[in-house]
Amino acid sequence: MNRATKMSPTLPAEDTLAPARKVLAASIGIDSHIDTVQRVLVMGEDLSKRHDAGHVDIPRLREGGMHAPFFALWVPVFFRGAEAVSRTLDLRDAMQSLLEANTDQLELDTTAADIKRIVKSEKIAVVLTIEGGHTIDDLRVLRTYYRLGIRSMTLTHARNNNWADSGNDTPVHNGLTDFGRDVVREMNRLGMIVDLAHVSDQTFYDALEVSTKPVIVSHSSMRAISNVARNVTDDMLRALAKNGGVIGICFGMGFINPRDADALRSATDTEAEAPPLTGRELDAYAAENAQKLFGERVKVVAMVEDVADHIDHAVKIAGIDHVGIGSDFDGIAATANGLEDISKMPALVAVLLKRGYSEADLKKILGENHLRVLREVTGV
Ligand SMILES: [Zn+2]
């Protein structure tokens, strides 16, 4: 056996990913949902450095070619009323500190035009979003969030709130209340993207009926493949396409492979239990909860190819213009094997290239589709 033959089966993985890296370098990489801000607030992590823990930091964003992530201010559902508003502001403040400490690397953006300019300047464009409509019970608060640079909000998180049903709870409103419909109208008017991840099916259809702008489902996958409430049905995909919206495919445990779904269900249940605490005691409980989420590495069955299956299915049903990436990194206990953190994005792109996606199609999935929604909603 000559040396060349002997070497060929063990070529470094780096070489096989070169075409994928090239596609990512030519794209504006948008991930429509990461929960990394909580690691800044709760654990005081410095995102300018590369970490082994968690899924996202600035060096890994650059390695993964994702230059415009939607940073979610995720407020767990056990924060209620004024506590939920206060928690949103704490997360917004943590994000501000991060922006100010890294002005050479990060810049806040509030429009699609901003994203293009910032990414061109080789910085990471930060889009701010809110996870959980329980953070507003008043349109004045919603408008204030908008003025703080927030450009999207999921209508619910893992439990019903006072005006919308969640997909992980027993319905009490039969979708959106009249006030919930006003929230959608006000988001349309302000220029905030309505995000339908986490909502019940009826809330989803009610919001589409009211919204005059494209919506997103920032981090969900296909119910046809993994039958969990957090994923969307084919009928919902068709409605989303008709609205002009985009789904960001989630990489999290249980969303992708049904064999991981039971573990996902138990994780969702634990998080939703609300303790009778307020103030600092509630913050301490939230910190403990976050540590639990990141503490133990859970084994998952799902592979990067399974994620590609969800993308294939979404493209088949909704069309290439309505599918994007919404990993849920730093909000999930475990991800698909091969996509352990955001630096591994080239592995997913390599699988999609192998399946025959053109560079133009991949650019849409990797960011152009979400960019279009942001442009249509903000008007810029
Ligand atoms: Zn979520």
pLDDT tens digits along 243-270: 999 999 999 888 998 888 777 666 555 4
pLDDT of 21 strictly over 90: yes
Confidence label for 295 from pLDDT (cuts 50, 70 and 90): low
**Ligand 1 center–CA 208 separation, angstroms:** 20
pTM: 0.92
Measure the CA–CA gap between 171 and 243, rounded to whole angstroms. Answer: 24
**Ligand 1 center–CA 243 separation, angstroms:** 22
Residue 10's pLDDT is: 56
Measure the CA–CA gap between 300 and 182, rounded to whole angstroms. Answer: 40
Q: At what angle do helices 178-190 and 201-210 cross, to 10 degrees?
A: 50
Task: Report DSSP letters for 191-257, one per residue.
Answer: T-EEE-TTB-HHHHHHHHHH-SS--EEEEE-BTTTS--TTSB-HHHHHHHHHHT-EEEEP-BTTTS-
Least confident interval from 149-163, 263-277, 278-292, 332-346: 263-277
Confidence label for 6 from pLDDT (cuts 50, 70 and 90): very low
* Residue 251 · residue 232 · CB < 8 Å: no
**Ligand 1 center–CA 97 separation, angstroms:** 23
**Ligand 1 center–CA 157 separation, angstroms:** 7
Cα dist from 162 to 79, 131, 272, 329, whole Å: 13, 15, 16, 28
DSSP summary character for residue 258: G
**Ligand 1 center–CA 85 separation, angstroms:** 18
pLDDT tens digits along 349-373: 999 999 999 999 999 999 999 999 9
Q: Which of 308, 326, 193 is nearest to 248 (CA)?
A: 326
**Ligand 1 center–CA 123 separation, angstroms:** 26
Measure the CA–CA gap between 343 and 239, rounded to whole angstroms. Answer: 33
Q: Span 117-139, mean pLDDT?
A: 96
Q: At what angle do helices 369-378 and 112-120 cross, to 10 degrees?
A: 130
Distant-in-sequence, close-in-space partners of 92: CB < 8 Å, separation ≥ 6: 73, 128, 148, 150
Q: Span 313-317, mean pLDDT?
A: 98
**Ligand 1 center–CA 324 separation, angstroms:** 16
* Residue 199 · residue 229 · CB < 8 Å: no
Q: Is 361 helix (H, G, I), strand (E, B) or coil?
A: helix
**Ligand 1 center–CA 241 separation, angstroms:** 21
**Ligand 1 center–CA 9 separation, angstroms:** 40
**Ligand 1 center–CA 261 separation, angstroms:** 15
Burial 10-20 (b: 16+ CB within 10 A, else e): eeeeeeebeeb
Residue 4's pLDDT is: 43
**Ligand 1 center–CA 250 separation, angstroms:** 9
**Ligand 1 center–CA 328 separation, angstroms:** 7
φ, ψ of residue 246 to 5 degrees: the values are -135, 140
Q: Indicate the pairing of strand 150-154 with strand 124-131.
A: parallel
Confidence label for 185 from pLDDT (cuts 50, 70 and 90): very high
**Ligand 1 center–CA 13 separation, angstroms:** 32
**Ligand 1 center–CA 80 separation, angstroms:** 17
Cα dist from 145 to 24, 44, 164, 186, 190, whole Å: 32, 23, 19, 12, 11
pLDDT tens digits along 83-127: 999 999 999 999 999 999 999 999 999 999 999 999 999 999 999
pLDDT tens digits along 193-236: 999 999 999 999 999 999 999 999 999 999 999 999 999 999 99
pLDDT tens digits along 25-83: 999 999 999 999 999 998 889 999 999 888 999 999 999 999 999 999 999 999 999 99
Confidence label for 296 from pLDDT (cuts 50, 70 and 90): low
